[in-house]
């Protein structure tokens, strides 16, 4: 797994808690059930209301992907494709029929199988690009859901604060409890801003970045499969694919 997201979240939360301790506060004081229920539940609810039910059902998978899914290594994909191109050049395209089963990348495996089956090159390109577009659209929906939550959370927190302040005004006859009640009231705003900027927006940005990497990976596969189908020279295939890989991500690309 790529530890960037988890490490970043831990560092951010650790900084917040450290600041509270250095200021002489008690970190446990911010963990009040009422504002947390309102911010988490309310934010999730309005995000569902702004989309489709199937988008909400996929949030678990998107959350897991953001935290645990490592980006695919493009250098390994180039190496695999070049190896397949060498075999196809040497033994013919049909010789890849057995090798296809050993390919781990599902998108590459399906593209190679279609090429081996004799699919027209233009039809194959269209089929693979359509599949890539569908994957990108699915990834965008997951990122949008968390972006929406980041947008809603601060406002939901303000709503909670206003509700709590109304309760404070109802109890002006008890000055001794006003300090605690006012402090508790602003916790809703704190949780709204905190969750938006420390949780939801980073997760949304992580999903967008993973989508960019996966789109580039799939584009690499499309070009590689078509080059194999055309019987291109493996050296030219490697040079072509190397030109599609960001600088520094491909070893020995020459």
- The residue-averaged pLDDT of 61-78 equals 87
pLDDT in tens, 176-231: 777 778 888 899 999 999 999 999 999 999 999 999 999 999 999 999 999 999 99
Q: Is the pLDDT of residue 254 over 50?
A: no
> Does residue 249 carry a pLDDT above 70?
no
pLDDT at 10 over 80: yes
Instruction: Report pLDDT digits (tens) over 74-99.
Output: 888 999 999 999 999 998 888 888 88
Give the chain's mean pLDDT.
90
pLDDT of res. 156: 96
Buried-state track 141-167, b at ≥16 Cβ within 10 A, e below 16: bbbbbbbbbbbbbbebbebbbeebeee
C-alpha distances in angstroms, 12 versus 147, 148, 197? 19, 21, 10
Q: Cα–Cα distance between 242 and 27 in angstroms, integer?
A: 50
Residue 166 has pLDDT above 80, yes or no: yes
Residue 2's pLDDT is 74
Return the structure tokens found at 199.
């949780």
Residue 250: pLDDT band with limits 50, 70, 90: low
Check whether 252 has a pLDDT greater than 80: no
More confident residue, 151 or 101: 151
Torsion of CA 168, 170, 173, 175, to 10 degrees: 0
- pLDDT score of 100 more than 90: no
pLDDT of residue 1: 62
Q: What are all long-range contacts of 79-82, with beta carbons under 8 Å and residues at least 24 apart?
A: 80/105, 80/108, 81/108, 81/220, 81/221, 81/224, 81/225, 81/227, 81/228, 81/237, 81/241, 82/234, 82/237, 82/238, 82/241
- The pLDDT score that the predictor gives to residue 95 is 85
Query: Tens digit of pLDDT for each residue in 140-164?
Result: 999 999 999 999 999 999 999 999 8
Per the listing, tokens 């509700």 go with 163
The pLDDT of residue 253 is above 60: no
Look at residue 61 and tell me whether its pLDDT is greater than 70.
Answer: yes
The DSSP code for 69 is P
């Amino acid at each position: 797994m790529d530890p960037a997201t988890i490490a970043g979240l831990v560092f951010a939360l650790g900084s917040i808690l450290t600041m509270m301790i250095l200021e002489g506060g008690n970190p446990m004081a911010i963990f009040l059930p009422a504002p947390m229920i309102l911010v988490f539940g309310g934010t999730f609810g309005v995000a569902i209301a702004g989309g489709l039910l199937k988008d909400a059902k996929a949030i678990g998978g998107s959350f897991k992907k953001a935290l645990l899914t490592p980006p695919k290594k493009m250098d390994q994909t180039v190496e695999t494709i070049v190896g397949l191109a060498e075999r196809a050049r040497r033994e013919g395209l049909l010789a890849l029929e057995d090798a296809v089963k050993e390919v781990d990348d599902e998108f590459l495996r399906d593209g190679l199988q279609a090429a081996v089956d004799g699919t027209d090159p233009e039809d194959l390109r269209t089929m693979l690009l359509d599949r890539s577009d569908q994957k990108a659209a699915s990834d965008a929906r997951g990122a949008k859901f968390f972006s929406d939550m980041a947008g809603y959370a601060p406002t939901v927190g303000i709503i909670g604060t206003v509700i709590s302040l109304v309760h404070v005004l109802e109890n002006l006859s008890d000055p001794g409890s006003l300090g605690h009640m006012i402090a508790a009231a602003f916790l809703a705003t704190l949780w709204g801003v905190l969750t938006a900027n420390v949780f939801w927006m980073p997760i949304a940005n992580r999903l967008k970045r993973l989508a960019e990497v996966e789109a580039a990976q799939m584009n690499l596969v499309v070009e590689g499969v078509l080059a194999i189908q055309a019987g291109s020279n493996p050296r030219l295939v490697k040079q072509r694919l190397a030109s599609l890989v960001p600088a520094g991500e491909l070893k020995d690309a020459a």
